[in-house]
Structure 1
Amino acid sequence: MNFLVEENPAKHRFEILVDDALAGFSAYLPRGEVLVFTHTEVDDRYQGQGVGAALVRGMLDQIRERGGRVVPRCPFVAAFIERHPEYADLVVDAP
């Protein structure tokens, strides 16, 4: 499986493509340089295959590269960051 994580600013979300097919997304509310993540969804066909983790890892890496921060209101994003403390520095309180 080939993963590609891209931001779709028009829809306020990051999307993951698996072999060129949309497999999931993580929606956010933009607050300047802070993105408040509210919901993550992975298509049933891709459940249990690491797609959700690849999505969150890819989007957090992109946010870090541009100097952004996150508020993980989405339980999936929050749990990922808790399991991967190397991303904890990106977390801020809600603006």
Structure 2
Amino acid sequence: MAELEIIVTDEGDHGAYRANVEGSDRQAELTWRSVARGDGDVRNANHTFTPPEARGKGIALKLVESMIADAREQEFKIVPGCPYVAAQFDKHPDWADLRA
């Protein structure tokens, strides 16, 4: 698989991490919404999707890793609201400091 270009959108209270998928008309995506809390910027990673023809290639993980990198850089916490994101947090204990 060629280098995956991740397109990040941030609309303030919601956003997404998306990637074009070779051989598919649909993009892979990880969406998030802001969570109103008094302890800083918190984002609920609420949905991931990878087109069926591209599953099993690590694309969703790359989207989550991109959000993790942004959380470290921009100092926000993540609520793993999507089962896939929650499973990745469980597999990566080094991300525990970013879990809201």
Q: Determine if the TM-score, normalized by the shorter chain, exceeds 0.5.
A: yes
Paired position in structure 2 for 1:8: 9
Unaligned runs of 5+ residues in structure 2 are: none
CA-atom RMSD in angstroms: 2.0
Q: Displacement of 1:68 after TM fit?
A: 0.8
In structure 2, the CA distance between the partners of 1:16 and 1:59, relative to structure 1 (3 Å rule), is farther
Residues 84-95 of structure 1 mapped to structure 2, 5 A cutoff: 84-92=92-100
Runs of 4+ aligned residues of structure 1 deviating over 6 Å after TM superposition are: none
Kindly provide the amino acid, as one letter, of the partner of residue 65 in structure 1. Answer: E
Q: Displacement of 1:64 after TM fit?
A: 1.2
Residues 1-95 of structure 1 mapped to structure 2, 5 A cutoff: 1-10=2-11, 12-18=15-21, 23-31=27-35, 33-92=41-100
Query: What's the TM-score once normalised by structure 1's chain length?
Result: 0.82
Kindly provide the amino acid, as one letter, of the partner of residue 12 in structure 1. Answer: G
Deviation string 1:66-88 (CA, Å, 9 cap, x unpaired) is: 11110001000000011011111
Q: Displacement of 1:34 after TM fit?
A: 0.8
Q: Displacement of 1:18 after TM fit?
A: 4.9
Greater CA radius of gyration, 1 or 2?
2
Query: How many percent of aligned residue pairs carry the same amino acid?
Result: 26
Q: Displacement of 1:59 after TM fit?
A: 1.4
Q: Distance in 2 between matches of 1:17 and 1:64?
A: 24
